[in-house]
Amino acid sequence: MDKTRRRTALVTGASGGFGRLICLELARKGFYVIGTIRDETKKGALLEAAKHLGVGERVETVPLDVTREDAGAIVAAVMKKIGTLDVLVNNAGYASGGFTEDIPMDEWIKQFETNVFGLIRVTKAVLPYMREAGRGTIINMSSISGRIAFPGLGPYAASKFAVEGFSEALRLEMQPYGVHVVLVEPGSYKTEIWAKGLAAFRADPDSPYGDKAERLLEMVRHTANTAGPPEEVAKIVVRIALEEKPRFRYPIGRGVKTALMLKRILPWRWIERAILKRMP
Ligand SMILES: NC(=O)c1ccc[n+]([C@@H]2O[C@H](COP(=O)([O-])OP(=O)(O)OC[C@H]3O[C@@H](n4cnc5c(N)ncnc54)[C@H](OP(=O)(O)O)[C@@H]3O)[C@@H](O)[C@H]2O)c1
């Protein structure tokens, strides 16, 4: 690799959480970073933090709501401007929860529009450039919920399972062109995702699932309070960005590797029993 060439990265959902930390960490490692933010009023936190770290000139923001039809065109315009992209981090996303019967179809669609179709829109816009350059790494933010689904998190788990399937196919499609596709699969980390998800959680007291949903919410609140530091995830993303030949999956977080190992070796019925026993 030409070490004098400016390396570039584009990170979606850079207003806070993992996205902002990933932008800062990439810039510290010398990348020129474009952080996309859907609400322009939130860009100050990233730009100020970058300035504070002395990497202000290496971070720029672009307004982007990944659910919009023109999201692909916006990313294509960015690509035209910068010419090449070394790393794409598809990070934008949110967690929708509740029991299946209680969740309106609109919400299912919104969850997929953001976590799945938004990610595909952005990816499609950068693929021609990475393919032609014969290099690039696409890092898709999945979750432990993309490997093991928990009750009360159907929309989120379904969307992350979809991200896993899409990434598996895309990795094979792009390998002959020198483009790597990678999944990061975090457990629970302290970001805004919890507060946003809890605010939208469907727990209708008249629902037959009302009590269960309330108790589940309590569990989620507890998980949110005891979740790990998000810097861990930013660090692993940057490590992947710098790797010549990254692996496909990077599970990370407390208990995540053990859970995946147990899923691999235990009969499925045992796993179900263990999950249901933990459920309220
Ligand atoms: N935190 C965890 O425990 C955890 C665990 C596993 C996986 N993840 C995944 O990690 C990724 C980042 O989440 P986070 O924990 O950092 O949560 P976060 O703090 O809520 O950040 C999510 C980011 O995505 C943006 N976003 C949401 N919908 C969008 C849309 N339609 N268009 C563009 N941007 C949008 C948010 O923008 P706004 O600020 O405008 O809302 C925000 O910048 C998500 O894909 C999430 O599923 C998180």
For 156-209, write each residue's pLDDT tens digit.
Answer: 999 999 999 999 999 999 999 999 999 999 999 999 998 887 777 766 778 898
Task: Give CA–CA dist 51/59, Å, rounded.
Answer: 9
Give the neighbor-by-neighbor strand order of the sheet with 59-63: 59-63, 32-37, 8-11, 87-90, 136-141, 179-186, 249-252
Whose alpha carbon is nearest atom 39 of ligand 1?
Answer: 15
Q: Report the pLDDT value the prediction gives residue 63, as an integer from 0 to 100.
A: 98
Q: Residue 236: pLDDT above 80? A: yes
- Per the CATH hierarchy, to which homologous superfamily does domain 8-278 belong? NAD(P)-binding Rossmann-like Domain (3.40.50.720)
CA of 267 to the centre of ligand 1 (A): 33
Give per-residue pLDDT as tens, 35-54.
999 999 999 999 999 999 99
Q: How confident is the model at residue 4 (pLDDT cuts 50, 70, 90)?
A: low
Long-range contacts of 107-113 (CB under 8 A, 24+ apart): 107/155, 107/200, 107/202, 108/155, 108/158, 110/67, 111/155, 111/156, 111/158, 111/159, 112/155, 112/158, 112/159, 112/162, 113/67
| Residues contacting 237, CB < 8 A, separation 6+ | 18, 22, 25, 26, 89, 139, 184
| Residues contacting 54, CB < 8 A, separation 6+ | none
41 pocket-lining for ligand 1 (C-beta < 6 Å): no
Residue for token digits 């350059």?
133
Task: Give CA–CA dist 162/146, Å, rounded.
Answer: 8
Task: Give CA–CA dist 268/270, Å, rounded.
Answer: 5
Task: Give CA–CA dist 138/131, Å, rounded.
Answer: 12
Q: Mean pLDDT across the stretch 21-37?
A: 98
Spatial contact of 136 and 87, defined as CB atoms under 8 Å apart: yes
Q: How far apart are the first and last CA of the chain?
A: 53
Domain ranges of the chain: 8-278
Which of 191, 222, 233, 252 to mutate to test ligand 1, by most ligand atoms within 8 A of the CB atom? 191
Indicate if 177 belongs to the active site. Answer: no
Q: Residue 1: pLDDT above 60? A: no
Q: Report the pLDDT value the prediction gives residue 278, as an integer from 0 to 100.
A: 81
Q: Report the pLDDT value the prediction gives residue 182, as an integer from 0 to 100.
A: 98
Q: How confident is the model at residue 222 (pLDDT cuts 50, 70, 90)?
A: confident
58 pocket-lining for ligand 1 (C-beta < 6 Å): no
